Amino acid sequence: MAKKDVSSMRGTLEWLKSQGELLEVNNEIDIIYEIAGVQAAMEGGPTLLFNNIKGFPGKRDVGNVFTREKNVCGMFDVKDFKELRKKCWDAMNHPLPPKVVTEAPSQEVVITKDIDVLGTIPITKYHPSDAGRILPSGNWLLTGKYTNGGTHIAFTRTHFRGKDWGAAMPSIGSTTEEISWRHRGEKIPVTLNICNPPAVLMVASTGFVHAVVPLESDKLGFAGALQGAPVNIVKAKTVDAMAVAEAEWVIEGYLNTKEKVWESDEAEKLGQQGIVPYFQEWTGYVGSAWRGYKLEVTAITHRKDRPMFFTPFSRSPEADNMCSPFRAAAFMEMAERTSPGLVVDANTIPGAAAWGGSIIFQVNKSAYRYEGYQRTILAAAIANSFTLKLAAVVDEDVDITSADDILWAIATRCNPGSGVITGAGGKVLSMMPLEKVGSSKDVKVGGYRIEGTIGLDCTLPFLVKQSFNRTHYPVDRVDLKKYFTEKQIADVRATQHGYVKLWAERGG
């Protein structure tokens, strides 16, 4: 059995293979639609490694790395996602700084002449509506003066419309956007790191709460603490920036904030932003093309032996597993600062735009003094995350990993007269339909007004809490092996999913 080493994607794949959790595909596969289609159809299964990519000999693609929770937990030596969220929270408060090295696998091959990004890297095209082969998995790394001494790494969509240049659109409200705005008028040196270690990918995919994770935070330090070893970084070859040493690919260049370019040919011809379909987004809708900053490529570096591309989906169970642990941890940190000791756990709702759309707090009002603080936490969450559309707080007897249990709490414990909080209009997010079809008088093209977040207090008032015990049937008092064979029990268990599985496990 391979010794587990998750400080690189290669080491992670070796461990997954030893667990029987890696499927290698040796038949030729196309980067146009086929890889995305196969991955989507096999969601929830083992990690997929495509070894034979049409038109890209010697290059590979990996996907569905985070699709199974048990594998993600195994990577970081935790028993479940609740423990993983707590470990991410601890990593945020006790970061392990990155280590600077002088030689790196990601720089075994260096290309500085005749650069052709799309001709070199097997960037996939996901869907016919996409504007082209959009790069969603480039983790932009910024350090030094641009982060006040911290390290910032994040997914940032980029479309290479030229061989050595692309249109880059930092997410609205993101730290990447903040940096580009603070240094507007400059050419910012940056590296785009592809197929990083899993812990780095988890950090890079997270929509953090800026109030508790400010610009100067050491995000690579979060990843290092989670994986139990520093993230190795190396000086870039052509720009004054750092790169992830264990990445498979690195694109070096400058974010030119002096020049804006259209994200797609069609949008440029039309001359209008936010109209032309562009790329599948985390909200579950197809995003539209805008004018972004120009990324000027100065080099491509990569591993020598069959470098791998990483193909994530913007919204999928895998994406939820990748981005939700640190996001939930950030909200737990915010809640702990607001009311120490009240929050037990936090989680996003599976499938409900986990990157930024939802958060569920689980609280234990163990004393009357806590009554009311649950609403304060809701208000704080709404105020500190403009992408948030649904926030709820439930009691400790509600399973926050189950949408069914959360809906039960909403149906039976949320007072429609006093338990619903709505956020005031604020910063916009153009990819949400509610911001284009809302009721506000000032809704207009190019200046949408957010219609607010829904906050739901689904907790029982402390003074009546003891009067509403949940029903419970004695599944914990019987031994099924006295009545059934192990096969009979296993056959029934195999058919239990979702609400049925949860109900049967706890008896109510």
Helix (H, G, I), strand (E, B) or coil at 505: helix
Do 362 and 493 sit in the same domain of this protein?
A: no
Question: pLDDT tens, 129-148?
Answer: 899 999 999 999 999 999 99
Do 278 and 385 sit in the same domain of this protein?
A: no
Q: Which two tokens stand for residue 208?
A: 């953090």
52 assigned to some structural domain: no
Percent of the chain topping pLDDT 70: 94
- Indicate left, alpha or beta for 292 from its phi (over 0: left) and psi (-120 to 50: alpha): beta
Amino acid identity of residue 245, one-letter, is: A
Do 365 and 276 sit in the same domain of this protein?
A: no
85 assigned to some structural domain: no
Rounded mean pLDDT of 227-252? 98
The pLDDT assigned to 442 comes to: 47
Q: Annotate 361-420 with three-state secondary structure.
A: EEECCCCHHHCCHHHHHHHHHHHHCCCCCEEEEEECCCCCCCHHHHHHHHHHHCCCCCCE
Rounded mean pLDDT of 198-218? 95
Of residues 234, 251, 253, 248, the one with CA closest to residue 302: 248
pLDDT grade for 435, boundaries at 50, 70 and 90: low
**Cα within 13 Å of Cα(307), Cβ side:** 26
Do 389 and 487 sit in the same domain of this protein?
A: no
65 assigned to some structural domain: no
Does residue 219 have a pLDDT over 50?
yes
Does residue 472 have a pLDDT over 80?
yes
The pLDDT assigned to 424 comes to: 56
pLDDT grade for 325, boundaries at 50, 70 and 90: very high
Do 290 and 240 sit in the same domain of this protein?
A: yes
260 assigned to some structural domain: yes
Q: Which two tokens stand for residue 286?
A: 């197809």
pLDDT grade for 217, boundaries at 50, 70 and 90: very high
Amino acid identity of residue 250, one-letter, is: V
Amino acid identity of residue 422, one-letter, is: T
Task: Determine how many CB atoms are found less than 10 A away from the CB of residue 344.
Answer: 17
Question: pLDDT tens, 347-376?
Answer: 998 777 778 889 999 999 999 999 999 999
Beta carbons within 8 Å of 60's beta carbon, 6+ residues apart: 49, 50, 51, 53, 306, 307, 308, 309
Local structure of residue 53 (DSSP, 8 states): B
Beta carbons within 8 Å of 276's beta carbon, 6+ residues apart: 131, 264, 266, 267, 270, 288, 289
For 430, the domain range is 339-465
Asked whether 334 and 211 are in contact (CB, 8 A), the reply is yes
Question: pLDDT tens, 163-203?
Answer: 999 999 888 788 999 999 999 999 999 999 999 999 999 99
Amino acid identity of residue 142, one-letter, is: L
Q: Write the DSSP assignment of 255-308 as a string of letters.
A: EEEEEEEESSHHHHHHT-SS-SEEEE-TTSSEEE--EEEEEEEEEEEE-SSS-E
Who has greater pLDDT, 424 or 476? 476
Which one of 221-225, 375-379, 380-384 scores highest in mean pLDDT?
A: 221-225
The pLDDT assigned to 389 comes to: 85
Do 253 and 378 sit in the same domain of this protein?
A: no
Rounded mean pLDDT of 113-119? 97
**How many domains in the chain?**
3
Local structure of residue 184 (DSSP, 8 states): T
Do 309 and 441 sit in the same domain of this protein?
A: no
Amino acid identity of residue 270, one-letter, is: L
The pLDDT assigned to 446 comes to: 46
Question: pLDDT tens, 32-89?
Answer: 999 999 999 999 999 999 999 999 999 999 999 999 999 999 999 999 999 999 999 9
Asked whether 338 and 373 are in contact (CB, 8 A), the reply is yes
22 assigned to some structural domain: no
Local structure of residue 194 (DSSP, 8 states): E
Local structure of residue 80 (DSSP, 8 states): S
Q: Which two tokens stand for residue 407?
A: 């809906």
226 assigned to some structural domain: yes
The pLDDT assigned to 351 comes to: 79
The pLDDT assigned to 444 comes to: 45
CATH of the domain at 244: 2.30.110.10
The pLDDT assigned to 2 comes to: 56
pLDDT grade for 430, boundaries at 50, 70 and 90: low
Does residue 428 have a pLDDT over 70?
no
What does residue 466 show for φ and ψ, rounded to 5 degrees? -70, -10
Of residues 137, 149, 134, 158, the one with CA closest to residue 253: 158
Do 249 and 270 sit in the same domain of this protein?
A: yes
The pLDDT assigned to 396 comes to: 96
Rounded mean pLDDT of 278-295? 87
Rounded mean pLDDT of 289-304? 96
Rg value, the chain, Cα: 23
Do 256 and 228 sit in the same domain of this protein?
A: yes
The pLDDT assigned to 422 comes to: 81
The pLDDT assigned to 429 comes to: 61
Which of the listed residues 250, 279, 313 is the one where a domain comes to its end? 313
The pLDDT assigned to 436 comes to: 57
Range in 106-120, 235-249, 273-287, 444-458 with the lowest mean pLDDT: 444-458
**Cα within 13 Å of Cα(175), Cβ side:** 31
Do 187 and 308 sit in the same domain of this protein?
A: yes
Cross-strand partners of 194: 249
Do 126 and 196 sit in the same domain of this protein?
A: yes
CATH of the domain at 346: 3.40.1670.10
Asked whether 413 and 459 are in contact (CB, 8 A), the reply is yes
6 assigned to some structural domain: no
70 assigned to some structural domain: no
Do 261 and 384 sit in the same domain of this protein?
A: no
Who has greater pLDDT, 473 or 438? 473
Q: Write the DSSP assignment of 344-359 as a string of letters.
A: EEEEPPTTS-TTTTEE
The pLDDT assigned to 431 comes to: 63
Beta carbons within 8 Å of 145's beta carbon, 6+ residues apart: none
First-to-final CA distance of the chain: 40
* Mean pLDDT of the residues in the chain: 92
